[in-house]
Homo-oligomer: A and B are copies of this chain.
Amino acid sequence: MNQDYIKPNAWSILEEGFDAAHVKSSESLFSIGNGSMGQRANFEEKYSGDTFQGSYIAGVYYPDKTRVGWWKNGYPEYFAKVLNAPNWIGINVKINEEDLDLNQCKSVSKFTRELNMKEGWLSRSFEAELQNGIKIKVDTKRFLSLELDEVGAISYNVTPLNSSAKITFTPYLDAGITNEDTNWDDQFWDVLNVVQNNQQSFIEARTMKTNFHTCTFMQSRLFIEDKEILTDCNNQNLDKFASCSYQQTVKQKQTFTIHKFGGYVVDRNHDKNELIATAKDVLDKAVSFGFDALLEMQKQSWAQIWHMSDITIEGDVKAQQGIRFNIFQLNQTYLGTDAKLNIGPKGFTGEKYGGSTYWDTEAYCIPFYMATKDQSVARTLLEYRYEHLEKAIENAEKLGFTNGAALYPMVTMNGEECHNEWEITFEEIHRNGAIAFAIYNYHRFTNDYSYIPEKGLEVLIAIARFWHQRVNFSTDKNKFVMLGVTGPNEYENNVNNNWYTNYIAKWCIEYALENIETVKIEHISDYMRIKGKVKFTDEELNSWKNVADNMYFPYSEKHDVFLQQDGFLDKELITVADLDQSQRPINQNWSWDRILRSPYIKQADTLQGFYMFEDHFSDEQLAKHFDFYEPFTVHESSLSPCVHSIQAAKLDRMEQAYTFYLRTSRLDLDDYNHEVEEGLHITSMAGTWMSIVEGFGGMRIKNNMLSFAPKIPKQWKSYSFKVNFRNQIIKVSVSHKGTYFEVESNSDINILVNGEITKVSPNNLQTA
């Protein structure tokens, strides 16, 4: 936790004062994106200080050759990397022939940066004195359009303050970029074409190996004191680079402005042989709208998003800023319009963790998107996995599984496994369970069963087959056991009978069996089609059932709790509170073997199961397990505190719930883990949303109804959120005085409030 340079504000992220040491952190925190592309908050003008340049296009990746110390059979050959794309934001600025470079100025003052979350733009202003003595004022504003999602726009304004000055703007495109994070320093881009016509520039490039074709483009408009000037530009056109220079001598206190329009078109959406022509159309349209009109559209688009997804918190501006930052970043990363895309753990804010899809999507992100978007968005996320089913079956085959068993990858871009640590890649197999659970969760929430006969059942069968083969019968225990797994707690590896994994495996098999029955009765043609395709027999299903009925679960009589894994009680059970605090975080201070034999839990593991299968256990059991495991949980994963927050709230331990909530909501803004420079923790942001809606709001689906059990931390005056439940939008407003429910629709809705059926009618504030 090293920052308080971010100023509290309900709707904006604000930085005041220029500090070179903050540049890389701010580049992450002020990142902008529109679901189709995104970029770190790099400066437009030259900057010779320490910086991490990044601009990313959704779905454009590169299979970097895997790097390992010691190869193990089954490792993937490639690791799909998020790919730094050609830079289109660059504008070199010269003042009387001196480059503007904040790292070289005599002085920089009045530096501010704002990420306006309400309207979706990034601005920056400062005054600087150059080495040549000229003082200038600079104001910039930039956004990536939601409406025209291949386009971004920049307004860059320079005003000489102490004399007239000759100002040169050189907007450019640069395809000579690399990744910070490459295994072998490969070049990833092959530039095919650099074209300039009059004021427009295009660079057509192709990714090596994956062969994605893109065209990066730009055009600019110039203004003096808001009056557009038409001026020739001086083109430069190199191998991987194109620029236009515009020069004007402006008087003291006169403002010279450039509006730069740029972006990418990709062959995922367009004919690759027509990319430059397509880019020209897109650019013509954007330029003719102009900066101000595009910005107005941007405000409208964000207003729509906020209308549905905003959470308000009164009485705690930092909490308010935190939750909005999380919701904003999730929406910048993924909007649910393209079944080929998914939610990368760093979104468009960095390169770490490579591939785009982890089990985070199913376990944490789907609930957020399901409740704040049209329900088609969650279905699109499910379809992503359906599309990858064949590759998941191949992946399992590589590990020796047969008969259509599927193991979904730990990390992926295109369905192929990208990760290569044996204890994760081959053993952290509970991810399969989250993918099945998401299907159940989607049906539970939306009541849309159609997905299961159409697509989901095939996924459920392939996953059930995997679990059925992955266990073995222990004659010693007279039960089925699962050896050699890594549970959600990655601080234990290669353990036997991880309770969470065994539990979700049993559940997956039972859920698949149940749905085979339902589809057989209610969707007979789908049933016949699927049976013909995947060829299951009654004998096979009976064998599954035998496994589910006879699964082993480690349990301690003494503590009356399920054990996280067979050997848990052999550990030296010193609680986190009794641990020397200088040793934390243990993942930065301890060697791996020491972490592994310690009792410390990186993220909710047994409790993750209690979260997902809450209905299967009594509150007393929850309390007992929470009291047993929480004291050993170090929450060194960003995905951990939200689960404990929700459970603490359920157990009426609001102080504890609030403490966990704080850890999750401002993780990046306050840089708890000293790593925000590398990018933001996008997927865990959905957990923050869950902490409020499911934790404090107590939202569940019960008896096919939306159910709430609202509580409020004493530090807050009130809070509110909305949920899109089966095409009715319910707004929940909670204060210390009580809770109000509203419905945005034409019909009544019955909800459960603390177990009581409560009717909410349109245009009526329902108190509870």
Q: List 24 A-B contacts (CB under 8 A).
A: A67-B68, A69-B69, A69-B420, A70-B421, A72-B591, A73-B589, A73-B591, A73-B592, A74-B593, A399-B594, A400-B591, A400-B594, A426-B592, A426-B593, A472-B570, A472-B572, A475-B569, A475-B573, A476-B569, A483-B567, A493-B494, A497-B570, A566-B567, A566-B570
- A484 contacts the other chain (CB 8 A): yes
Instruction: Evaluate contact between B69 and A593: CB separation under 8 angstroms.
Output: no
Contact A72:B592 (CB < 8 A) given known A472-B597, A484-B597, A597-B483? yes
- A474 contacts the other chain (CB 8 A): yes
Chain A residues numbered 503-561 whose CB sits less than 8 Å from any CB in chain B? none
- A289 contacts the other chain (CB 8 A): no
- Which residues does chain B contribute within 8 Å of A496, judged by CB atoms? 567, 570
- Which residues does chain B contribute within 8 Å of A473, judged by CB atoms? 572
Chain A residues numbered 468-495 whose CB sits less than 8 Å from any CB in chain B? 472-477, 481, 483-484, 493-494
Chain A residues numbered 561-592 whose CB sits less than 8 Å from any CB in chain B? 566-567, 569-573, 587-592
Most B CB contacts (10 A, CB to CB) among A73, A474, A587, A596 go to A73
- Which residues does chain B contribute within 8 Å of A426, judged by CB atoms? 591-593
- Which residues does chain B contribute within 8 Å of A70, judged by CB atoms? 420-421
Q: Which residue of B399, B421, B494, B497 is within 8 Å of A591 (Cβ)?
A: B399
The minimal Cβ–Cβ distance linking A399 to chain B, given in whole angstroms, is 4
A413-447 interface bits toward B, Cβ cutoff 8 Å, 1 = contact, 0 = none: 00000001111001100000000000000000000
Is chain A's binding surface mostly helix, strand, loop or mixed?
loop
Closest 7 CB pairs of A and B: A74-B591, A426-B593, A476-B569, A483-B597, A72-B592, A484-B597, A474-B570
- A209 contacts the other chain (CB 8 A): no
The minimal Cβ–Cβ distance linking A372 to chain B, given in whole angstroms, is 34
The minimal Cβ–Cβ distance linking A719 to chain B, given in whole angstroms, is 39
Chain A residues numbered 223-264 whose CB sits less than 8 Å from any CB in chain B? none
The minimal Cβ–Cβ distance linking A178 to chain B, given in whole angstroms, is 17
The CA of A484 and the CA of B591, in the complex, are separated in Å by 12
- The total of chain A residues at the interface (CB under 8 A) is 47
- A193 contacts the other chain (CB 8 A): no
The minimal Cβ–Cβ distance linking A347 to chain B, given in whole angstroms, is 21
The minimal Cβ–Cβ distance linking A567 to chain B, given in whole angstroms, is 5
- Which residues does chain B contribute within 8 Å of A69, judged by CB atoms? 66-69, 420-421
The CA of A591 and the CA of B494, in the complex, are separated in Å by 14
The minimal Cβ–Cβ distance linking A242 to chain B, given in whole angstroms, is 34
The minimal Cβ–Cβ distance linking A722 to chain B, given in whole angstroms, is 40
A639-653 interface bits toward B, Cβ cutoff 8 Å, 1 = contact, 0 = none: 000000000000000
- Which residues does chain B contribute within 8 Å of A399, judged by CB atoms? 591, 593-594
Most B CB contacts (10 A, CB to CB) among A68, A70, A72, A593 go to A593
The CA of A588 and the CA of B481, in the complex, are separated in Å by 26
- Which residues does chain B contribute within 8 Å of A497, judged by CB atoms? 570
- Which residues does chain B contribute within 8 Å of A594, judged by CB atoms? 399-400
Instruction: Evaluate contact between A400 and B590: CB separation under 8 angstroms.
Output: yes
- Which residues does chain B contribute within 8 Å of A592, judged by CB atoms? 72-74, 422, 426
- A285 contacts the other chain (CB 8 A): no
Closest to A556 in B: B476
- Which residues does chain B contribute within 8 Å of A567, judged by CB atoms? 483, 496, 566-567
- A398 contacts the other chain (CB 8 A): yes
Instruction: Evaluate contact between B593 and A476: CB separation under 8 angstroms.
Output: no
- Which residues does chain B contribute within 8 Å of A590, judged by CB atoms? 73, 400
Closest to A568 in B: B476
The minimal Cβ–Cβ distance linking A348 to chain B, given in whole angstroms, is 23
The CA of A422 and the CA of B422, in the complex, are separated in Å by 11
The minimal Cβ–Cβ distance linking A422 to chain B, given in whole angstroms, is 4
The minimal Cβ–Cβ distance linking A102 to chain B, given in whole angstroms, is 33
The minimal Cβ–Cβ distance linking A556 to chain B, given in whole angstroms, is 8
The CA of A66 and the CA of B475, in the complex, are separated in Å by 43
- Which residues does chain B contribute within 8 Å of A593, judged by CB atoms? 74, 399, 422, 426-427, 484
The CA of A473 and the CA of B475, in the complex, are separated in Å by 29
- Which residues does chain B contribute within 8 Å of A481, judged by CB atoms? 570
Closest to A184 in B: B184
The CA of A591 and the CA of B70, in the complex, are separated in Å by 13
A62-94 interface bits toward B, Cβ cutoff 8 Å, 1 = contact, 0 = none: 000011111011100000000000000000000
The CA of A497 and the CA of B570, in the complex, are separated in Å by 10
The CA of A569 and the CA of B477, in the complex, are separated in Å by 9
The CA of A420 and the CA of B421, in the complex, are separated in Å by 13
Contact A477:B73 (CB < 8 A) given known A427-B593, A484-B593, A593-B422? no
The CA of A597 and the CA of B570, in the complex, are separated in Å by 21
Instruction: Evaluate contact between A596 and B494: CB separation under 8 angstroms.
Output: yes
The CA of A593 and the CA of B573, in the complex, are separated in Å by 28
The CA of A398 and the CA of B472, in the complex, are separated in Å by 38
The minimal Cβ–Cβ distance linking A11 to chain B, given in whole angstroms, is 39
The CA of A69 and the CA of B589, in the complex, are separated in Å by 20
The CA of A11 and the CA of B572, in the complex, are separated in Å by 59
The CA of A351 and the CA of B528, in the complex, are separated in Å by 59
The CA of A592 and the CA of B588, in the complex, are separated in Å by 27
Instruction: Evaluate contact between A472 and B596: CB separation under 8 angstroms.
Output: no
The CA of A69 and the CA of B75, in the complex, are separated in Å by 11
The CA of A484 and the CA of B569, in the complex, are separated in Å by 14
